[in-house]
């Protein structure tokens, strides 16, 4: 069971292979990229404990030497300290310009290791082996790499495309349900932004995707990656259309910052709340009927996802502070807030200069619902 999605980017084109058993077949998949029989794998401690042995066995059978570094799990890793550690470790391992670095983990590992590969010796190739649903459908594809700083999320980074992505959906069986649901937040985003038929399908089969049905997972990951690959091929560096992938993200980044990038709110959970709010905002601006945001929220709720600020435990700042946190988002252009809004499910567009008072009102309503 395997699908292949091609990301067409001229000399930087690559395949995303999606299926089961790809970790065990990793050596054969990666072999054509190697100029010498050695790879450096960077992972996190959780993924290392669950899956690294399988990767090592696969490489051993093909006579490929492996050296591995396991970073601490969690968003806190995605900063300067672990980035420096990773780069210096790769140099100590004598990774050269023609070598391949493997990012084996979720979005944190993929972003951090991709950025390390982008700057190491002015750029080495890297392979993404994403181990979460979120990383398989979004962060491993498209070449956005980077780390967080105290000023905000993903504010330092580089566009650096991987040479290959291996999305082994078999690993999803070991994902905690909360992580799985958070990844599903990004899956729904694709239907909402550009494929109403896919959203219809998710309404019927979303429970199978999250519940572990491999055929449903293969379809959901493949369709998500196809959509992302198409957008990235047309707009690699986010001059236009790629911004659609940020549906829900302006709200999400403010909420993540307000909750300290902690496990009070996982990124995909923030995306789900952000999508619900973006559709609500679209309705308040008269772009779509009330039934549209209701349908979005209903599906997210039915899946067990967070959809409102009321679903976030603990204190949140007031609406004005949340609005100012949106101003830290790197999609701000000339100080104006940019939102992804929608005319309908599957029909999103980029909107600049959205009136601040409408956003403020929406945030206030959402905060009031917590009382």
Minimal distance, residue 225 CB to ligand GLY, in Å: 12
Is 144 one of the annotated active-site residues of the chain? Answer: yes
User: 90 vs 265, which CB is nearer to ligand GLY?
Assistant: 265
291 is catalytic: no
Identify which of residues 239 and 357 has a Cβ nearer to ligand GLY in the complex: 239
| CB-CB neighbours of 179 under 10 Å | 18
Catalytic residue among 75, 186, 256, 280, which? 186
CA-nearest of 113, 108, 174 to 138 is: 108
Q: For residue 193, what are the CA distances in angstroms to 44, 57, 215, 227, 228?
A: 32, 40, 23, 10, 11
State both tokens at 53: 């042995």
Is the CB of 138 or the CB of 269 nearer to ligand GLY?
138
Closest contact distance (angstroms) between CB of 270 and ligand GLY is 13
The yes-or-no answer on residue 92 being catalytic is no
Residue nearest to ligand GLY (CB): 245
Residue 313 falls in the annotated catalytic set: no
Cα gap 47→369, rounded to integer Å: 38
Catalytic, 122? Answer yes
Closest approach, Cβ 239 to ligand GLY, in A, equals 12
Give catalytic status of residue 284 as yes or no: no
Residue from 192, 202, 70, 83 nearest 131 by CA: 70
* 236: number of Cβ within 10 Å: 18
Give whichever of 142 and 194 is closer to ligand GLY, judged by the CB atom: 142
Shortest distance in whole angstroms from residue 224 CB to ligand GLY:
11
Q: Is 94 a catalytic residue?
A: no
Burial class, 72, CB count within 10 angstroms (exposed 0-12 / middle 13-18 / buried 19+): exposed
* 160 is a catalytic site residue: no
239 is catalytic: no
Q: How far apart are CA 369 and CA 371, in angstroms?
A: 5
Please identify, using beta-carbon distances, which residue of 51 and 223 lies nearer to ligand GLY: 223
Of 115, 126, 209, residue with least CA distance to 158: 115
Which of the residues 75, 226, 236, 238 is marked catalytic? Answer: 238
Catalytic residue among 17, 51, 78, 253: 253
CA distance 213 to 77: 31
Q: Which two tokens stand for residue 144?
A: 């956005």
Name the minimum Å distance from CB 187 to ligand GLY. 13
CB 310 within 8 A of CB 255: no
Positions that interact with ligand GLY (CB under 6 A):
138, 142, 144, 242, 245
The CB density around residue 154, as the number of other CB atoms within 10 Å, is 18
Tell the residue number behind the tokens 């010498």, with chain if given. 36
Query: CA–CA separation, 89 vs 146, rounded Å?
Result: 17
Q: How far is the CB of 72 from ligand GLY (least distance, A)?
A: 23
Residue 26 or 231: the one with the smaller Cβ distance to ligand GLY is 231
Is residue 246 annotated as part of the catalytic site, yes or no?
Answer: yes
Active-site amino acid positions? 122, 144, 186, 228, 238, 242, 246, 249, 253, 267
């Amino acid at each position: 069971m395997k699908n292949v999605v091609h990301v067409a980017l001229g000399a930087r084109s690559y395949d995303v292979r999606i299926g089961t058993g790809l970790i065990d077949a990793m050596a054969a998949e990666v072999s054509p990229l190697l100029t010498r029989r050695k790879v450096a794998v960077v992972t996190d401690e959780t993924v290392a404990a669950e899956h690294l042995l399988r990767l090592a066995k696969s490489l051993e059978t093909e006579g490929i030497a492996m050296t591995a570094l396991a970073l601490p799990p969690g968003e806190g890793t995605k900063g300067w300290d672990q980035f420096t550690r990773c780069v210096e470790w790769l140099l100590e391992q004598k990774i050269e310009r023609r070598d391949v670095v493997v990012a084996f983990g979720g979005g944190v590992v993929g972003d951090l290791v991709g950025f390390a590969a982008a700057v190491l010796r002015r750029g080495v190739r890297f392979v993404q082996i994403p181990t979460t649903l979120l990383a398989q459908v979004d962060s491993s594809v498209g070449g956005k790499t980077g780390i967080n700083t105290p000023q905000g999320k993903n504010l330092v980074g580089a566009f650096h495309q991987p040479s290959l992505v291996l999305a082994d959906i078999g690993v999803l069986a070991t994902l905690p349900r909360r992580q799985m649901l958070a990844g599903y937040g990004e899956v729904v985003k694709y239907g909402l932004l550009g494929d109403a038929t896919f959203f219809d399908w998710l309404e019927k089969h979303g429970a199978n995707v999250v519940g572990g049905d491999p055929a449903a997972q293969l379809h959901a990951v493949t369709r998500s990656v196809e959509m992302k690959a198409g957008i990235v091929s047309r707009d690699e560096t986010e001059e236009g259309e790629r911004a659609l992938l940020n549906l829900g993200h302006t709200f999400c980044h403010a909420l993540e910052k307000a909750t300290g990038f902690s496990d009070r709110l996982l990124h995909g959970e923030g995306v789900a709340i952000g999508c619900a709010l973006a559709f609500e905002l679209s309705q308040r601006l008269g772009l779509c009927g009330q039934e549209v945001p209701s349908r979005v929220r209903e599906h997210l709720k039915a899946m067990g996802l967070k959809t409102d600020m009321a679903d976030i435990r603990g204190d949140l700042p007031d609406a004005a502070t949340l609005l100012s946190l949106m101003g830290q988002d790197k999609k701000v252009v000339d100080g104006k807030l940019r939102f992804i809004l929608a005319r309908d499910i599957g029909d999103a567009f980029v909107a600049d200069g959205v009136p601040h008072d409408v956003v403020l009102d929406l945030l206030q309503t959402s905060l009031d619902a917590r009382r």
